[in-house]
Structure formats: C-alpha cells, structure tokens
Structure 1
Amino acid sequence: MAGLGVRLVQRMSSTRAFAKVAPHVVPALDRTVHRLTRGRFLLSTQMLPGVLLTSTGARSGLPRRTPLACMPEEDGKSWILVGSNFGRTGHPAWTRNLLTHPDASISWKGRDIPVTARLLEGQERSAAWTALLSFWPPYATYQARVDREIRVFRLTREDG
C-alpha cells in the first residue's frame, strides 16, 4: 500500500495544478511544523527526505529559510538539492542565493549543519540527475515543462 501511496503522490505532484498551489502551501506548512517541533519534523518528509535550508539572500544579505526535498548521499556528508520550482518557469530564489553565497546551513533530522553548496555541471550533473530521476521520477516532468535547465546543487558538510 505504501508503494501505491508514493505513486499517487508522484502523479499528483507532476500536475500543473500542484505546481500552482504547492509553492504557496507546502513551504509555509513545513516552516510552521518545523518551528513547532523545534526542528525535529518537516511535514513534506513523509514522502521525501527534506532539509530546512538557511541561506543568505543574494540581494538582501538576510537569512532565508526554505524547506526543500533532498536526496541524501551515501557518504552521510552531502545532500543533493534540486531547483525544480515544482516545474514552474523561473529558477527558485534559493538557487540564486546559493550561487551568490554558497556557505549555508541545513536543519537535517533536528540538527543544524553548516554546509557549502556547489552547482553541479556537465558529467557530474548528468550522473546526479540520473540518480534523482530514480529517486523521484516527477523531476522528469518538471524538466519537460520548462525551457531552463533545472539547477542541481551538492551541499557538503563543512569540516570542523
């Protein structure tokens, strides 16, 4: 039954209606639940692993908190983030923030972790994209819907 539930959510998340509504509803719910549980829980992590990214605003220089799905890597020290923006035309603001200020932090399973973000390109991006499509197939629908190349970042835990 769990597999059926996942497939249903994947199908629903690939719709244009979801792309219109989700960016306004999902992050607000996630931030509220994260705050109320003192960082131990994100609502969206019931389907996908997730982090709460704290980056520095590209123009404002102010801290920006964004709940995001992620693909944790096997090394336990890095995470892949996808700037899909639910298949909407523009890049999400958090991707510009990371391009301008790659030092950030994530809340991962209730722990704050300093990270450095790097935009993946070329063969490295291609390999990550293949893994991402196995991890969450709706990313293919999001990419097909837009003319831009969806940005993919690797966040790596800072040592020390």
Structure 2
Amino acid sequence: MTFSHSRGTHGARIPGWLFRTVNKFVSGPIKRSSGSFMGMDTLVLTTIGRKSGEPRSAPVAWFDDGDGRWLIVASKGGAASNPAWYLNLAAHPDQVTIERAGTSTPVTATELHGEEREAAWSRIKAEAKQFAGYETKTDRVIPVIRLTARAD
C-alpha cells in the first residue's frame, strides 16, 4: 500500500524552529550512541527531500518490530500536519537510511494500514504513553511506518 494519510483539520501547534533546534541538538549524540532521548529508543532517519533532492535527517523514536525491522510514528506531537520526513518517505521510500550506535543501515519504508496498523499502534501506545496523548490532539490518523533493512 501507499503512503496515504492526509492533513487533519486541527492539532497541536508546535513551532517549526523548535523541531529544527531539537533535531540539531540530539542528532549527533544519537548517531554515535545507542540512542535514547526522553526515555525512548531513538534513531536518526535520513530521507531524500521530496522537493530539494537533498538528504534530510531527523531523530525519531523507534519500536522494535523484529527481524531487522523498526516501527516509527509520524506524530509531530499531535499537529494537524504530518512531519516533513513523512512526506519525504512517501516520495522516496527506497532511499532511506537509519543511524544509531555508530551504524548506518539502508532501509525501505512502508506505511501500515488497517488491522496491521491498529495492532502496531496499540503496542506503541502501551510502550510510550505520550503517543496516546498525541492522538487526542489531532483528528488526523497518525501514520505508523515500518522500516525494513535492505541489502544494498
């Protein structure tokens, strides 16, 4: 299936400068260490900009999905819009890398839908309670994406 979640009509208002500042501050240490931020396992996701064609990196929380797979959530703190990295994934799902603990891994991104999404989303909310709060702030369906390691 494709990436399909559209913008909501309402949600949290978080200034873009705040996201950019936090991203710059935490990306370096996450790349070099086992990657934990605010009590969650974190990795640095590098996508290809859908407009610029340039690499774009952002730290994101991840959840183990077994067998060389990770789940990430395009929550943007419950904002009405999806994060820019989500739109980049939708444009270039096979041009993605993740970095953590000094290791870079090429991955393919797939958005989960239906029962598969619901099962993953329930597990994520149980592991990280703040995601349940993000869901109450917006009317959009928060995307859950599976990253699968690929052999390049």
Structure 1 length-normalised TM? 0.78
**Which residue number in structure 2 is paired with residue 80 of structure 1?**
71
Q: Aligned ranges for residues 83-102 of structure 1 at < 5 Å?
A: 83-102=74-93
Distance 2:60 2:97 in 1: 12
**Which residue number in structure 1 is paired with residue 29 of structure 2?**
33
Q: Is the 8 A contact 1:69 1:81 kept in 2?
A: yes
Distance 2:51 2:86 in 1: 13
Distance 2:100 2:57 in 1: 13
SS at match of 2:126: helix
**How far has the Cα of 1:32 moved from its partner?**
4.2
Aligned letter for 1:96?
A: L
Q: Is the 8 A contact 2:111 2:143 kept in 1?
A: yes
Q: Is the 8 A contact 2:34 2:100 kept in 1?
A: no
* Higher helix residue share: 1
Confirm or deny that 1:155 pairs with 2:147.
Answer: yes
**How far has the Cα of 1:27 moved from its partner?**
1.3
SS at match of 1:106: strand
Q: Is the 8 A contact 2:79 2:138 kept in 1?
A: yes
Runs of 4+ in 1 over 6 A off after TM superposition: none
**Which residue number in structure 1 is paired with residue 42 of structure 2?**
50
Please give the root-mean-square deviation of Cα atoms over the aligned residues, in Å: 2.2
Give the share of equivalent positions with the same residue, in percent. 34
Distance 2:51 2:20 in 1: 22
Q: Is the 8 A contact 2:35 2:43 kept in 1?
A: no
Distance 2:79 2:101 in 1: 28
Confirm or deny that 1:125 pairs with 2:117.
Answer: yes
Structure 2 length-normalised TM? 0.82
**1:103-135 CA-partner distances (Å, limit 9, x unpaired):** 200002210000000011111100100110111
**Which residue number in structure 2 is paired with residue 7 of structure 1?**
none
Aligned letter for 1:23?
A: F
**1:56-89 CA-partner distances (Å, limit 9, x unpaired):** 11111111011111112233x0100100101122
Q: Is the 8 A contact 1:30 1:42 kept in 2?
A: no
